[in-house]
Amino acid sequence: MCNYVNGADKNALTALGRLMHDFFCTDPDDMFYSELAEKVRYFKENEKGAANMNSVIDEMMEEQAEKMKVQFAEDMISQGGFSIELIAKLSRLTIDRVKELAAQKALQ
């Protein structure tokens, strides 16, 4: 079961509205919830916090890039007619990784 929240509801009279306001707020001084404001302040204003956030973002970008490489290789494998070496070269994956993907595809 999925539950959804209307993020547009920023009614300051309700707890949910105040939380939605804080989620969209860029200035911790304008936030209703001090716990959230403290975390935002840490990541925005503290050098160590900013470095932590940057490393998290870098990691997420690397994961996304890897997913895209794998998807590209899987598409080439599905298309057929390409050597493992060519797929590895074009996808920038290792030959061993492309062999793993090809083996997985063969099992499907």
What's residue 4's pLDDT? 72
Domain of residue 94: give its range.
61-108
- Looking at the structure of the chain, the number of domains it has is 2
**Domain contains 52:** no
Same domain, yes or no, for 32 and 68?
no
51 inside domain: no
**Same domain? 33 vs 66:** no
Q: Which of 94, 62, 63, 91 is nearest to 77 (CA)?
A: 91
Q: Based on the fold, state whether residues 69 and 99 are members of the same structural domain.
A: yes
pLDDT, position 57: 93
The pLDDT score that the predictor gives to residue 34 is 94
Residue 70 lies in a domain: yes
Residues 77 and 107 placed together within one structural domain of the fold: yes
The answer on 14 and 41 residing in a single domain is: yes
Same domain, 104 and 66: yes
The chain-wide mean pLDDT, for the chain, equals: 91
| pTM for this model (two decimals) | 0.60
pLDDT of residue 33: 95
Instruction: Report d(CA 27, CA 39) in Å as an integer.
Output: 11
Shared domain for 78 and 107, answered yes or no, is yes
Each residue of 11-56: pLDDT tens digit? 778 888 899 999 999 899 999 999 999 999 998 888 898 898 889 9
Q: Does 1 share its domain with 41?
A: yes
Is residue 54 in a domain? no
Residue 37 lies in a domain: yes
Burial label, 97 (beta-carbon count in 10 A; 0-12, 13-18, 19+): middle
